[in-house]
Amino acid sequence: MSHSFFLTVAYVGTGFHGWQIQTALRSGQGDLWTALRAFDADAPMPQGTGRTDAGVHARAQGALIHMQRDWEPYRLLAALNAHLPMDIRVMAVQPAPEGFFPRQHAVAKRYVYRLGLGPAADPLQAAFRWHVHHALPLDLAAMAAAAQPLLGTHDYSSFRCAECVAKTPVRTIHDLRINAVEGGAELVFEGTSFLMHQVRIMAGTLVEVGRGRRSVDSLAGVLQARDRTRAGLTAPPQGLCLERVWYESKWGVGDPSPWGERTQSR
């Protein structure tokens, strides 16, 4: 009999070629599977909530695992962490309800892109921020105003990298806010799901607005063009972190989504 558990996994993306398992490159999924098989040799590969790019961090990657025997959640957490490197940790474990699959039943995600601002990059934050060098202060109010047309349900082809294999470029962004923090700023993106590099391209485009290199009212036209060349640069991966995932409430995994139960686009 198989016993299923849902894990919340955090990792520093710097050392990983993304979450998804790779043939010859390190991945979060691969490291977790290696740890799992250290004490359950026949365990199938863990299934994650979604991919993260190479170098992107996660605080709340969801993973479903199947064990040959039952475990107390706290003992399973300790056993997995004992076999994991220090840059990836299982943060929480709970029994998974039958029929639950994290990727299929996720309804919303929160990504945070972190910027470092100021005269020099903070060496203690450099692994988790994109330091934006600039002569004048970044105009966060202009960035927030420019972001408004990106809210809602749209075709986000202009913010989609060429390698993206999603079946549709249509996604829904519920909220996009920009918060000033000590030494920098946080760009918070909350939506159903995101295309490959979408958040990073949006972050790079908004930074161009903040630098005065792109007008505040330009993003509606960029969105409508459905042309990647109209958007800005792809921000570097170290500033991005998957912070939270909401799942369909019927499964009892975490808090219900504040935006309801509409299933996400694929």
Q: What is the CATH number of the domain that holds 192?
A: 3.30.70.660
Q: Could you confirm whether 217 is annotated as catalytic?
A: no
Interhelix angle for 28-37 vs 73-82, to 10°? 110
pLDDT of residue 134: 78
Among 66, 232, 79, smallest CA distance to 161 is for 232
Give how far Cα 115 sits from Cα of 140, 182, 183, Å.
Answer: 11, 10, 8
CATH number of the domain encompassing residue 41? 3.30.70.580
User: With the C-alpha atoms ordered 254, 260, 262, 265, is the resulting torsion angle positive or negative?
Assistant: negative
Does a structural domain hold residue 88?
yes
pLDDT of residue 21: 94
51, 132: one domain: no
Q: Which domain holds residue 80?
A: 3-100
pLDDT of residue 266: 52
pLDDT of residue 263: 55
Task: Give the active site residue among 53, 87, 175, 255.
Answer: 53
Which of the pair, 99 or 135, is modelled with greater confidence? Answer: 99
pLDDT of residue 136: 81
pLDDT of residue 262: 65
35, 125: one domain: no
160, 182: one domain: yes
Q: What percent of the chain has pLDDT over 90?
A: 90
Half-sphere exposure of 53 (CA within 13 A, CB side): 22
At 164-203, the pLDDT tens digits run 999 999 999 999 999 999 999 999 999 999 999 999 999 9
pLDDT of residue 2: 87
At 116-156, the pLDDT tens digits run 998 899 999 999 999 998 778 899 999 999 999 999 999 99
91, 203: one domain: no
Instruction: Write down which residue in 69, 100, 131 finishes a domain.
Output: 100
The token pair at 203 is 């972050």
57, 123: one domain: no
Given a cut of 80, is residue 55 above it in pLDDT? yes
